[in-house]
Amino acid sequence: MERRRAAFQSGLAVFAAAVAAWWLPQVLELFSIINATVYTAMAVLALSLALVWGFGGILCFGQAAFFGLGGYAYAVGALNVGDTTWAIPIALLVPTLAAAALGYVMFYGRISDVYMGVITLTVTLILFNFINSTAGEEWRIGAAPLGGFNGIPATPPLNVPGDPGTPLTPEQIFVVALACLAGCYVLCKLILRSHFGRVVVAIRENELRASLLGYDVRLYKLGIFTIGGAMAGLAGMLFANCVFVSPTMFSLAYSGQIIIWVMIGGVGTLFGPVVGAMLLQALTAWAGTLPDINPNLILGLVLVVAVLAIPRGLQPTLAGLLRRREAP
């Protein structure tokens, strides 16, 4: 039953992504396509924290660090190797290694709870400060100047594999992003169904009990944290393809937003955070167009009300409502 449901959900996600990839480029204009790609990249980012926080029980305040590292690794790689296809593995490798290193320090140092939050936040701030101060010409990696506050506006987009002269069109990048999102969703489902995933959830439920049963809690936490880091890096790569990389990717505002998306969508769910990310970005964009009202005010109020009114998040709350109606 459980297995069939997961397979059904994964199939549905892939199908929905395929339909979106086929249909949306036909009806949307270029500007909206690029925006939709940004939304999709952010949904991947939300998914990464949904996995780490919702299932691993690790509240990471620095998911933006891996997002930024992925973006920068892609930009630097792409400017250096020419064929941007080869920048994709670089964009995955750098944040993965960073997440593994940070996770090792935290989990093997037995740091938990709010202290972990502070360490992840601090690492993000260090990266932000560092990248922000690389405006001088001496800061370059190969052919890529880091650009400091400016970021790297000339980030080249992905090209047709093996043909560096032909960059993908925005429509094609949108399709790539959707494929990444669907792929990550299915991957999360697979992980959660595996033995590894079950142990991770068990640790979230009761760390002491899991370790008394003989599992190396540190190793499992490190594993899920690293996977989440890689996924955030992928999101950064996609984002670099439709906007460009700049230090704001490492900012406190981004780290906070990711947590908000997951929170609103529902901690401990996968689909909810994806929807949460899309909804809140749409809300931000809409609020920005209101003439006399500051967008921060609206976002802030929505967040406060959401925490008070639907503390479990959208997906569990809606599912609960449906179930109640079905029951006699």
Q: For other proteins, give the closer residue by CB, 105 or 143.
A: 105
CA atoms of 294 and 275, how far apart (whole Å): 24
Tell me the three-class secondary structure of the chain, residue by residue: CHHHHHHHHHHHHHHHHHHHHHHHHHHCCHHHHHHHHHHHHHHHHHHHHHHHHHHCCCCCCCHHHHHHHHHHHHHHHHHHHCCHHHHHHHHHHHHHHHHHHHHHHHHHCCCCHHHHHHHHHHHHHHHHHHHHCCCCCCCEECCEECCHHHCECCCCCCECCCCCCCECCHHHHHHHHHHHHHHHHHHHHHHHHCHHHHHHHHHHHCHHHHHHCCCCHHHHHHHHHHHHHHHHHHHHHHHHHHCCECHHHHCHHHHHHHHHHHHHHCCCCCHHHHHHHHHHHHHHHHHHHCCCCCHHHHHHHHHHHHHHHCCCCHHHHHHHHHHHHHCC
CB of 18 to other proteins, least distance (A): 26
CB of 4 to other proteins, least distance (A): 33
CB of 257 to other proteins, least distance (A): 10
Q: For other proteins, give the closer residue by CB, 219 or 304.
A: 304
Residue 216: CB partners within 8 Å, gap ≥ 6?
A: none
CB of 291 to other proteins, least distance (A): 10
CA atoms of 188 and 191, how far apart (whole Å): 5
Q: For other proteins, give the closer residue by CB, 186 or 247.
A: 247
CB of 152 to other proteins, least distance (A): 10
Q: For other proteins, give the closer residue by CB, 82 or 148.
A: 148
CB of 67 to other proteins, least distance (A): 13
Interior CA angle at 221 toward 111 and 113, to 5°? 35
CB of 308 to other proteins, least distance (A): 6
CA atoms of 311 and 300, how far apart (whole Å): 15
Q: For other proteins, give the closer residue by CB, 118 or 212.
A: 118
Q: For other proteins, give the closer residue by CB, 10 or 281.
A: 281
CA atoms of 326 and 200, how far apart (whole Å): 32
CB of 221 to other proteins, least distance (A): 15
CB of 165 to other proteins, least distance (A): 15
Q: For other proteins, give the closer residue by CB, 13 or 278.
A: 278
Q: For other proteins, give the closer residue by CB, 295 or 316.
A: 295
Contacting residues toward other proteins, per CB under 8 A: 29-31, 34-35, 59, 105, 109-112, 114-115, 118-119, 121-123, 125-126, 129-130, 132-133, 135-137, 147-151, 153-154, 243-244, 246, 248, 252-253, 256, 259-260, 263, 288, 292-304, 306-308, 311
Q: For other proteins, give the closer residue by CB, 93 or 111.
A: 111
